[in-house]
Amino acid sequence: MPSKERMYIQELKQELPYHNVRSIVRFCQNHDIRLFSFTGSKVKFVLRDQFERQMEKIYSSEPLAKDLKVINKIGRNRNYKTKRRSPYKPQGQYEKEVLSRLANL
């Protein structure tokens, strides 16, 4: 008899290469993983056995999927720095005059 152990969406974020809940829900729907929730609650979960069974099917049919999962996990842990824009430099004569007047106020 399969166990009734639950995996909540937050746990699935660690297992799957997705950051938000909508992507995880869509993944589960596309791969026939049934989502459950308690009556009157927004908290969603899946059964661990069903999830693991489906993941084995996915990885057996797509041998590169495990490698991609590892790459996505590595990429998720990086701290990306945003590029800073250089300050605005006026190009035309009119723009230069207006900016110089504003600076002198």
Return the pLDDT at 66.
55
Following CA atoms 8, 43, 27, 10 in sequence, which dihedral angle do they give, to the nearest 10 degrees? -40
Task: Kindly report, residue by residue over 67-92, the tens digit of the pLDDT.
Answer: 555 555 545 545 555 566 667 777 88
To the nearest whole number, what is the mean pLDDT of the chain?
77
Task: Kindly report, residue by residue over 22-44, the tens digit of the pLDDT.
Answer: 889 898 888 888 999 888 888 89
Return the pLDDT at 70.
53
Give the predicted TM-score (pTM) of the model. 0.54
